[in-house]
Amino acid sequence: MSSLRKALLSLLTVSMVAIGNQSALAMPSQEPTQVAGDPTSMTSGFYVDPNSNPATWVRQNPGHADATLIRTQIAEKAGGRWFGNWSGDITAATRSFTTAADSADKLPILIAYNIPGRDCGSHSGGGAGSPEAYRTWISRFADGIGTRPAVVIIEPDALAQLDCVPAAEKQTRLDLLKYAVNQFASKNPNTWAYMDGGNATWIEAGEMARRLKLVEVGKIRGFALNTSNYYTTAQSVTKGNAIRGAVGGGQFVIDTSRNGNGSNGEWCNPAGRKLGDTSRNGNHVSGTVDMLLWLKVPGDSDGSCGIGTGIPAGTFSPVLAKRLITGS
């Protein structure tokens, strides 16, 4: 860690003690600024996960005809790492990942994906076994990050899928997501956290804004759109600005990992999709877009469906990867 960053961290810690929780309760600024606590100004680009599924596959299959293509077009690009009930000791897992990124002076992207009743029991079903288990898990997730710079996406689909949650459990889910927001707001001063807000055609903007406010999104940086989906960046910007207007502020990020050809209306391993813009600052798209990010790992299956039939969710496939590279 550079001496400048150490000084920034020290200054930020003193400031947080002086103002208590007031900063956490404020709505995020209308425009992004380069100040202490801004993880993009404390790092030199996004972290490339050396242990992503594509990177691991390339190492294990150096002689494969598509190994070089997948290495250069996917494995060597910065993207997110997903954490869930497969991650073991979650504090150790997030600490290890963010420490490695910090040592490289890069900004890591983490996705928290362990809400009880995850994915409504579909291809990516699972999650923590109880509300109490989730509170412990997400608290320890935040503990592992500490003051290191990070980007965190909170629980893809959890708000958008609220309608599939039994009526008696809806408030519990909202309470858990609000708890997650407050964990990151209070424990991670150099993390920009974003609550997942669905995609361009899923949940009307006013309703999504209502849900985001219920989980106190104003205490974190903002919300995320298009996670693991295919809608164009332009479609997501339009939807994001509509949500933002209804929320009353905040920034958003867009998953561009597989949106190069847009959506054909299918969500589960559809054919003809293509890699989108690599992870980068989003200001050239819109002043309200913080970042374009590869959140979904290209080549990881959405489930046993579409052109990925027989490939479980989260499993890397060189066939799926190559089709995203070629747009076939």
Catalytic residues: 119, 157, 302
- H helix runs in 20-103, sequence order: 22-25, 53-60, 67-70, 90-103
Q: C-alpha dihedral over 237, 239, 245, 250, to 10 degrees?
A: -60
CA distance 137 to 125: 17
- Which of 303, 163, 68 is CA-nearest to residue 59? 68
Label the pairing between strands 191-196 and 222-225.
Answer: parallel
DSSP reduced 3-state for 286: coil
What angle separates helix 205-214 from helix 170-187, to the nearest 10 degrees?
Answer: 70
The backbone torsions φ and ψ at residue 225, rounded to the nearest 5 degrees and listed phi first, read -130, 155
CA 221 to mean position of chain CA atoms: 12
* 251-255 sheet: strands from edge to edge: 80-83, 109-112, 150-154, 191-196, 222-225, 251-255, 289-293, 280-281
CA distance 13 to 290: 24
Contact call for residues 227 and 296 (beta carbons, < 8 A): yes
**Tokens describing residue 44:** 């030199």
